[in-house]
Copies of this chain bind each other. A is one copy, B any other.
Amino acid sequence: MDLGLLYSGGKDSTLAALLLADFYDVTLVTAHFGVTDDWKNARDTAEATGFDFEAVELDHDAAVTAVERMVEDGYPRNGIQHVHLHALETVAAMGFDAIADGTRRDDRVPTVSRAQAQSLEDRHDIDYIVPLSGFGRGAVDRLVAATLDVESGPSDEIRKADYEAELRTLLAREHGAETIDEVFPAHEQTYVTGFTERR
């Protein structure tokens, strides 16, 4: 069965790929808005870990709506949630038998409710799988330490390919660089460079 996994190059979505690799033909799919070339970081991780890779361009309107919401709200949650749901719809339409993402049990955003998951599955006739949905933060950290080589640091220093970098760029372009710090609280990001030797 062919599975498309929404992929950022970070530890969560890479671990999700490993969990599914024995059961599906996994393609890592990085969704982007064509705003930056950050998606190429995810392609590099896909190469380093031996997974198939595809990039897919999202509807620019989704980025515009997300940035508007983030500025209105003063925090990124609803904007990122909007883009994530749009990205899932986009990957669901690519012809895979199943799609997946790297959301963890303890993530506050994005979240996909059971009803949203069922709707996605029914409308696209696919399975939508969240392999880390039953793993807490501690379990994920321990599995990552055992399997992946990871760089980590502040969001603006880490090579990565999630929506956040592009949304930050758009935010700065349209509302000024100072808006980034107003909307996004400082937090750590991760970028996977390959497998540990033990793997």
Residues of A within 8 A of B (CB): 1, 18-19, 22-23, 98, 100, 103, 105-106, 114, 117-118, 121, 127-136, 138-139, 142-143, 146-147
* CA of A139 to CA of B114, assembled, Å: 14
B136 touches A127 (CB 8 A): yes
10 more contacts with CB within 8 A, not counting A105-B130, A127-B142, A133-B133, are: A19-B131, A23-B146, A105-B114, A106-B114, A117-B136, A128-B136, A129-B134, A130-B134, A131-B131, A131-B134
- Asked whether B127 lies within 8 Å of A1 as measured between CB atoms, the reply is no
Q: Are B138 and A127 in contact (CB under 8 A)?
A: yes
A29 to chain B, nearest CB (A): 17
A5 to chain B, nearest CB (A): 12
Contact A23 B117 (CB under 8 A): no
Known interface pairs A105-B114, A132-B134. Does A22 touch B23 (Cβ–Cβ under 8 Å)? no
**Residue from B19, B133, B139, B147 in contact with A19 in the complex, judged by beta carbons closer than 8 Å:** B19
Contacts of A118 in B (CB 8 A): 136
User: Are A139 and B129 in contact (CB-based, < 8 A)?
Assistant: yes
**Residue from B127, B130, B133, B143 in contact with A23 in the complex, judged by beta carbons closer than 8 Å:** B143
Give the residues in chain B near A121, CB-CB below 8 Å.
Answer: 136, 138
How close is A121's CB to chain B, nearest CB, in angstroms?
Answer: 6
* Nearest chain B residue, comparing its CB with the CB of A101: B134
Taking a contact as CB atoms under 8 Å apart, the answer to whether A134 and B134 are in contact is yes
Contacts of A139 in B (CB 8 A): 98, 127, 129
Question: When chains A and B are docked, how far (Å) is the Cα of A105 from the Cα of B128?
Answer: 11
